[in-house]
Structure 1
Amino acid sequence: MSSLAGILEQALSIEEQARQNSQQLLQQEKQKSPETFCLELSRILASEPISEATRQLAGILLKNTLLNLNNEDFLKTFWDQVTIESKNEIRLNALGTLACDKRSVRLSAAQAVSSIAKQDLSRNNWREIIEILVTNARNENLAFKEASLITLGYICDGLDSSILNTLEVNSIISSIAMSMTPTESNINIKTIAFKAFRNSLRFAKKNFEVQQEREYIIQLISSGCTNPDEQIRIESFKLLLDVVNHYYDYVMSFLAELGRITFQAIRQDEIKVALLALEVWNSLGDIEAERKESPSPEFPPRGYLNAAVNDLIVLLLENMHRVHSEEDEWDINKGCASVLTVLAQVTEDKVMDPCLEYIEKNIGSGAWEMRQAALMVIGSVLEGPSAMKISPIGKSIPVIVQLLREENVFLKQSAAWTLSKMAKSQYKLMTSPITFNQVLPALLEALNQSPKIACHVCWALINLIEKSTEIKLFKIGVFEHVFSGLIKSAMRNDSTHQENNLQLAAFMALSTLIQKCSEDCVLYIEQNITNFIILLKQHSSSPSHDLLQNSLFDVLSASFSRARPGYISEDQAKTFIEALTEVFNTRNGVVEEGIMAIGSLAGNLNERFVNFLPAVGPFISFTLQKQDSEALCNAVTMLIGDIARALGDLTKTFVADFMQPLMANLRSDKTYAKVKVQSISSLCDVVAACKESTGPFLNDLISLIRDAATASLSIVKEEENPDLYEYLRDLREAIIEFYENFVQGLASYAEVVIQLAPEIMNYCMQVSQDKFRPRSIIHRCTLGIICDLCRFYGSRLREILKVPAVQTYLQRYRTSGNFVLRDLAVRGNSFLNSI
């Protein structure tokens, strides 16, 4: 036995110390010579005298090393340095072990062979492995057949689809399909074949493009979906689910068959199978809803749900009452509700008549399952249909409120969920004075129920508060009751339940309430600021209270923002900063929510915040240097702008401290895209506050903004790369806001402004073009820049301002429905005519 085999046996020891020692030795052997390590592992895998468990472990380690699952630098290119002799022996040892009579070793060998094949095929080597496995997949020897099918599936899983040629793909698909036919009697082989076909499905695009081949594949899957064996049905429906996700555009040709097998499974099969059948329609609905929301000629919605809506709605309503467990498990009841949700989004009013009839019939039923099902239907159809079609649901609200007070826990949970959904999507149904006065007391009572019910209530309150800002439902009398109810819920003994974190939901609702309530609540908010700071101080040194600390930061951030300017006292600020510092030290890192709270505090203290800069500065420097969290870096970058606005003229004293990190963000290739945009926005604040004091940085700053402006003019289609599209749009808006602040703030640098004016105007005229789909902020800033340039530098800039492009642009917005843009355009035109 080799020494490596001994180490592997030690790794299987029941003694923890022995296992730890073996892991260190294995790592040493691997680092010393990956080639020798893999070669020896392959020999152990192939060696019959060695124990089954040791051989199995050798195969797994060989796979992990070849695929570099731990992402170790020394393994990234090691396979390229392995000698051809070693490679051949490793291949043969692993391949030969596929015939082992011990199943666990065969399965381990399958993983090893597939990992070798992935390395080799991607380098156009060992192409014969496909033919070998395909041949063995047709072998009468069940062990050969099983191992080869599994290995083919493993190879296809994660392999780039361009690596295999058409002949290889066809041979793989055909060999797997042979074991999926009704004539294959071995359940194990058939199950493995369906799993292998799932892994190779990405390669079957050309097969799905050919109608005859597509029909044959669907026929095999359909046969599997009705097989007497439950495991085969499960694997078949998983494959069908992958088919509709990968090849959505071909579903119409087998939509009727898909309906037949899924409907039958939902009505008659075991719950595991029925849920997969429901998920098929859920996936189709998700795809159609996404394509409907972001239409594209290349990827249009195919209308499958519209074609099936009448039959599908009957099926869903038939089965909506099937609650299998009162626990929070996915069952037919929830599956039907999920499909109904996307069906309503896609087909809109087509679902409403049968759903309204169902609700009316069952909302008062004597059977609690039927009442619960009616609640699920209400919560599922609130997005998609027209307001006119949904409005009759408003009649059910008093009954829903009554169900929220039922003895049955499941009914109460569903009622709370339904009200939270209604508050989010159809809040107007709940905000008439009579209805609101019925709903709110019931919600506040339900805050005392189980954490799960109370969490739903918190979300209902969050949605109601956010949606009803304009009609000011949450005035002081209501505010006080909701405020105290949320505080009480947040501090309950069971509020930190892992699955239903009531504390988090309650504080989130509290933050929303503080942000959105009416002005008459401000004094009450101010009176509670000290209490929140004390609560933070009490829990600042405990790492286990991180969620509570984050929540309190959010609440304090909202409170600082709503308090009257300058209300926060020095003592309050000092205690808060001390508690915040203790939290950061305890957690050995800066917390985004804490940084946001500092910004809100600065906004309230204004110039007085200068006293706290020494305490805050190190946190800013620490975070920007680490650059390991986009959200955190963005928050700190935003904080610099917040502080600059707060300090006003005092910012001049710290101009270098503020300018340098922001400009460093723009220079660095490692800076997150979102942080670069925020850096430009914060530079606007610094320039506006410091004005002439930014002079020493102007050359570098202008150069950086110029580079960003050039990059921002790239044309990217939203549907092709939505993240890059959004980044470029945000970048253009940040740059044009910077230019506006630059023109307004640097009166003492008139020559610099005049020199850059042609460049600025050229940028404004470009980004305001329709091809960039500019939002109103672009036009507001462009019009503002035109006004300022005409007003302050008009006669010296006549050549770039009094031109047809600018005149046409001003004329376009003189009749705008946007009052701000119209006013700016009128003023700009007046200034332009005077030069």
Structure 2
Amino acid sequence: MDAATLLANSLSENAATRQSATEQLEAARRDNLAGYLHTLAQELANESAPSHIRNAAGIAFKNAVSARDAVNQPALSEAWMNLSDDVRNALKHSLLSSLASQDKRAAGVAAQAVSAVAAVELPRGGWSELIGQLLQFVQNEENTGLRVATLQTIGYICEVVQPQYLSARSNEILTAVVQGARKEEPSTDVQTAAINALYNSLEFIRDNFEREGERNYIMQVVCEATQSAAVAVQVGAFECLVRIMSLYYEYMELYMERALFGLTIMGMKHPEEPVALQAIEFWSTVCEEEIEIGIESQEALAYGEEPAVVSKHFAKMALNEILPVLLELLTQQEEDADEDEWTKSMAAAACLELLARDVGDAIVQPVVPFVEQGIRSSEWRHREAAVMAFGCILDGPETTTLSTLVAQALGTLINMLQSDPDVHVRDSVAWTLSKITELMLEVVDTGSHLQSLVQALVMGVQSGTPRIINSCCSALSNLVIQLLPADMIAEDPATSPMSPFFEPIFKALMPVTEKASNDGNSRTAAYQTMATFVANSARDTLTMAEQVTVEMLRRQETLLGMQNQLLGMDDRNNWNDMQINICVVIQAFIQKSPALVQPYADQIMTNLLTILSSSAKHGAVLEDLLATIGALAGALEAGFVKYMEAFIGFLLGGLQAVDDYQVVQAAVYCVSDVARAIQEQLSPYAERIMVELIAILRSPVIHRQVKPTAITAIGEVALAVGPDFTRFLETTMAILSQAGATTASSSDLALNEFVWTMREAIVDAFIGIMNGLKAGDPAPMLPYVEGIMNFLQGCMSEEDRTEDFVTNTLGLIGDFGDTFKGTVRELLCTEWVQNAIAVGRQRGASKQSRTNAAYAQKTIKELSK
């Protein structure tokens, strides 16, 4: 079968034909990558081939070089670079030639393929001539299609290649892109492609943007593009303004005063929805930036520092202009809008929420008349907009500013939820009530409002409308959590203001959870609310919580009996979804009342093990099953050991599921839960568990998020098995030493946060090992103390150390002194240790940090005697 036929079949509506073609193409890629890519490049370049075949060839080429996820990218990159220079050069030449195709789709997908190769080669110093070739293509006035495809390519490259690999040509790239984006450009297609490329290049032209003359020119071109006759250009220009505001807020004052206030307010009124949406997004971004600046300024003030960026208060300055536009847009709802469709009224509501958080009290007075007038309107759009506006301003202004208004409105909102004839209005009322119960519950008078509020919310749960069900479930959950007496932490209270309503609420939730489908996620919302009520039961409602759990176990067993009747993936996914939800409720009961769960333990564990045996390939189910089993272990403690023989294989399987890191994470958490529960009875299983935990730490492909959790779990295993951990000590200390060598630059915030999380976990593990060995002979740990102290000293010398790290370090130092006494005097009686103790005692340190500092100081004093 030739390549064109295979590519055509890969697009077939017939699933069997499509799968067969896809498998043959994948086999060709594995067997002979050079030949496979050569064939695809030929098909892409073939001007006589149908457009859809050329498009399929281009996508297949791109996918052979560019992975959908970061885990698989190194293998694809290596495979490409292992091709000979001649082969790669020929393929690159063919791809560049395809940019000039008269077929727009083929040229567009060639742009994607070129950028995929560039993402591999440019960071490695390859294809150095590429940018120069693309810049020549952009200047080819005779071939508009080539210019469009080339600008698309430049945009893609700017999106996928790190700025440092383009910096040498950044000025030329910017010149070419801005040239094409100017209003004088005769081709709308070229201008659209250029403005989109400019959007992708904004992050790496920071040096240019910091120079006033260049910044002025860029802003002029973008602002002029917002006035283009072409909608696509306008949309792209407003997208650029959104991105510019996000990246370069500190430079925007002049442009806001001269142009952006007017342009964006007019843009919000634009009849073309895509333009209006981006103009609204501009103001949402302004608010987001100013909210973040406010948070950072407060943090800087707390530390006696100057904030990095000062708010210009653009939103507050423009409030009187933008607020009326947003409120008017709220009334432009689309009656039959799809739930997933983002409309102007939805965007306006989201912007209004951010605006309230940004300007605070200033928003209340201008919005109140709109609410008061609209809520009495006979037109449903005005009633819905009024309620939505009210809900949107609840987060931001001071509670004292809003409390009277909320108290006055509550009765009206309750009545509207029960009786308004329009479902859109009831939907927004339910959402607003969920916001009130989340943010301003103190306004709800439990004597006069609570019963009518709960009754209205129960009616909402019974409404059959998914969005209303979801909001009412959220409001009920807020009520039961926040109204539970504060002494819940120390001892379960006898009752709660919500106790009288548990029975009607459970009765309303049950039918929703029994639905065959999960429309709008409403079934899941009902299950989650049920779990929240179980978790927040007072003593007088524990019996009902127990009855609900018994019903969950019955449903679980019914579902297990239905497995052979499942037809296709939809049935399986629905089955999985219900099992997950049931597990959430059961887990809530286990954690709520370990004593009451004892009689059901065998039934729970039998069910869970049966599901585990049939759901090995369904990650989401496995996560919740492992979490529930971990909770059960915590409830049963040593009694859980009777299930270990049946469970250990599934636990090890979860630890080995490296293709699904969330399953691995859940399994690692479960190891910690089980270790804490059965303590020394873990010993017969410890070796197999440790092999998998070490493998996780050595794995180059497992998501890095799992590794700190695995290190902590090692500490839990060590603490559980005590002296028996000695057999794992050498291997463990070697792997922890390697993990501790990981460093990060302060510029990579995500990696820096990960490194400190790793370091905290390493110290946790040392503490677990130390305390585990102390139960017998701690001497095997002594040879490692000096290396550990060097590690701690290096970390403590870094300014961005975390408080948790400091706290744990002081605890470990105290343990060393308490355990090894004078043997470690020289290591502990040092200046850096005293400095560390001072850090733990300093003003603002946590209570635990001060306690550990005192413990460390006490043991060192003992050593000095």
TM-score bracket relative to the smaller structure: 0.7 to 0.9
In structure 2, C-alpha distance between the alignment counterparts of 1:753 and 1:120, rounded to whole Å: 48
Distance 1:245 1:144 in 2: 32
Equivalent in 113, 125, 128 of residue 129 of structure 2: 125
Query: 2:343 corresponds to which residue?
Result: 331
Which residue number corresponds to residue 412 of structure 2?
399
Query: Relative to 1, partners in 2 of residues 1:684 and 1:95: Cα closer, same or farther, differing over 3 Å?
Result: closer
Aligned-residue offset at 1:374: 2.6
TM-score by length of 1: 0.83
Task: Tell me the SS of whatever aligns to 2:334.
Answer: coil
Amino acid at match of 1:609: F
| Alignment-derived partner of residue 318 in structure 2 | 308
User: Is the Cα contact below 8 Å between 1:780 and 1:820 reproduced in 2?
Assistant: no
CA drift of 1:760 comes to: 7.7
- CA displacement at 1:564 relative to structure 2: 4.2
Kindly report which structure 2 residues correspond to 1:259-270, keeping only aligned pairs within 5 A, or say none.
Answer: 259-270=261-272
Shift of 1:103: 4.9
Once residues 695 and 103 of structure 2 are traced to their aligned partners in structure 1, the CA distance between those partners, rounded to angstroms, is 61
Deviation at 1:565, TM superposition (A): 2.8
Structure 2 CA distance for partners of 1:436 and 1:148, relative to 1, 3 Å: same
CA shift, 1:278, in A, is: 0.2
Q: Does 1:194 align with 2:195?
A: yes
* Cα displacement string for residues 129-177 of structure 1 (whole angstroms, at most 9, x for unaligned residues): 23431221x33x55555555555545555344344466x5445444444
| 1:452 alignment partner in structure 2 | 467
Q: Which moved more, 1:5-14 or 1:223-232?
A: 5-14
2:507 to 484, 487, 506: 484
CA separation of 1:87 and 1:132: change in aligned 2, threshold 3 A:
farther
Offset, 1:277 = 0.7
Residue matched to 1:609: 640
1:511 Cα offset (Å): 1.7
- The 1-side partners of 2:655 and 2:645 are apart by 16
Post-superposition shift, 1:626?
A: 2.8
* Cα deviation digits, residues 596-638 of structure 1 (max 9, x gap): 1112222333333222111111111111223333332232223
Sort the Cα spacing of 1:770 and 1:364 in 2 relative to 1 into closer, same or farther, 3 A.
farther
Alignment-derived partner of residue 278 in structure 2: 276
Greater shift in the superposed pair: 576-585 or 793-802: 793-802
SS of alignment partner, residue 163 of structure 2: coil
In structure 2, C-alpha distance between the alignment counterparts of 1:740 and 1:15, rounded to whole Å: 57
Once the two structures are TM-superposed, the CA of residue 401 in structure 1 deviates from its matched residue by: 1.4
On the 8 A contact 1:813/1:822 being kept in 2, the answer is: yes
Match of 2:456 in 1: 442
Q: Give the length in aligned residue pairs.
A: 821
Alignment check: 8 A CA contact 2:480 2:498 kept: no
Q: How far, CA to CA, are the matches of 1:764 and 1:160 in structure 2?
A: 34
1:226 lines up with 2:249 in the alignment: no
1:340 Cα offset (Å): 1.7
2:40·2:60 contact (CA, 8 Å) conserved in 1?
yes
1:725: Cα distance to partner?
A: 2.0
Aligned amino acid, residue 282 of structure 1: S
Verify: 1:376 aligned to 2:388, yes or no: yes
Distance, in Å, in 2 between the alignment partners of 1:487 and 1:525 is 13
Q: Say whether 1:565 aligns with 2:595.
A: yes
Q: What is the aligned partner in structure 1 of residue 527 from structure 2?
A: 507
Counterpart of 1:424 in structure 2 is 438
**Distance in structure 1 (CA, Å) of the matches to 2:48 and 2:782:** 86
SS of structure 2 residue aligned to 1:568:
helix
Alignment of 1:79-228 (within 5 A): 81-82=83-84, 84=86, 103=104, 107=108, 122-126=126-130, 128-136=132-140, 138-139=141-142, 142-143=144-145, 145-150=147-152, 152-153=154-155, 156-164=158-166, 169-228=170-229
One-letter amino acid of the structure 2 residue matched with residue 520 of structure 1: D
Match of 1:236 in 2: 237
How far does residue 127 in structure 1 lie from its aligned partner after superposition? 5.3
In the other structure, the counterpart of 2:546 is: 526
Secondary structure at 2:582's aligned position in 1?
A: helix
| 1:353 counterpart residue number | 365
**Match for residue 535 of structure 1?**
555
Which range moved further: 469-478 or 20-29? 20-29
Q: In structure 1, what is the Cα distance between the partners aligned to 2:130 and 2:323?
A: 53
| 1:363/1:399 contact within 8 Å kept | no
Equivalent residues in 2 for 1:693-772, closer than 5 Å: 693-698=724-729, 700-701=731-732, 710-711=740-741, 720-722=748-750, 724-725=752-753, 728-729=756-757, 731-732=759-760, 735-736=763-764, 739=767, 742-743=770-771, 746-749=774-777, 751=779, 771=799
Question: Conserved in 2, the CA contact under 8 Å of 1:13 and 1:19?
Answer: yes
How far residue 95 of structure 1 moved from its aligned partner, in angstroms, is 5.3
Q: Deviations over 1:661-701 (max 9, x none)?
A: 55555566666555443344444544444434444445555
What secondary structure, in the 3-state scheme, does the structure 1 residue paired with 2:595 have?
A: coil
Could you tell me how far apart the structure 2 residues matched to 1:559 and 1:820 are?
30
449-458 vs 200-209, greater mean Cα deviation: 200-209
Equivalent residue, structure 1, for 2:603: 575
Distance 2:46 2:730 in 1: 71
What corresponds to 1:286 in structure 2?
Answer: 288
Change (3 A) 1:695 1:391: same
1:27 is displaced (CA, Å) by 5.5
**Which secondary structure does the structure 2 equivalent of 1:565 belong to?**
helix
In our comparison, the structure showing a higher alpha carbon Rg is: 1
Q: Which moved more, 1:429-438 or 1:74-83?
A: 74-83
List aligned pairs for 1:651-666, cutoff 5 A.
651=682, 654=685, 656=687, 661-662=692-693, 665=696
The one-letter code matched in structure 2 to 1:221 is V
Using a 3 Å threshold, how does the CA distance of structure 1 residues 488 and 150 change in structure 2: closer, same or farther?
closer
Partner Cα separation in structure 2 for residue 158 and residue 129 of structure 1: 19
Identity rate, percent: 22
In the alignment, is the contact (CA less than 8 A) between 2:726 and 2:773 conserved in 1?
no
Q: Read off the aligned partner of 2:323 and give its amino acid letter.
A: I
Greater shift in the superposed pair: 521-530 or 736-745: 736-745
Tell me: CA distance 1:299–1:445, structure 2 relative to 1, closer, same or farther (3 Å). same
CA deviation digits over 1:195-219, x for unaligned, max 9? 3443444454444333333333333
Q: Secondary structure, in 3 states, of the residue corresponding to 2:616? A: coil
Q: Is the 8 A contact 2:156 2:197 kept in 1?
A: yes
Provide closer, same or farther for how the CA distance between residues 325 and 276 of structure 1 changes in structure 2, counting only shifts above 3 A: farther
Name the CA distance, whole Å, in 2 between partners of 1:79 and 1:702: 37
- The residue that corresponds to 1:555 in the other structure is 585
Contact 2:810 2:837 in 1 (8 A): no
The amino acid that maps onto 2:331 is H
What SS does the corresponding residue of 1:626 show, helix, strand or coil? coil
Structure 1 residue 551: Cα displacement = 1.1
User: Contact between 2:167 and 2:204, CA under 8 Å: does it hold in 1?
Assistant: no
Closer/same/farther in 2, CA of residues 443 and 149 from structure 1, 3 Å limit? same
Q: CA deviation at 1:759?
A: 7.7
- Where does structure 2 lack aligned partners over 5 or more consecutive residues? 301-306, 487-492, 564-571
Q: Per-residue deviation at 1:453? A: 0.5
Does the Cα contact within 8 Å between 2:180 and 2:190 map onto a contact in 1? yes
TM-score, structure 2 length as denominator? Answer: 0.81
Moved more, 214-223 or 608-617: 214-223
Change (3 A) 1:304 1:446: same
Equivalent-residue separation in structure 2 for 1:356 and 1:366 (angstroms):
18
User: Counterparts in 2 of 1:60-71, with a 5 A limit?
Assistant: none
Q: Quote how far apart the aligned CAs of 1:722 are.
A: 3.9
1:50 positional shift: 5.6
The change in CA–CA distance for 1:833 and 1:623 in structure 2 (over 3 A counts) is closer
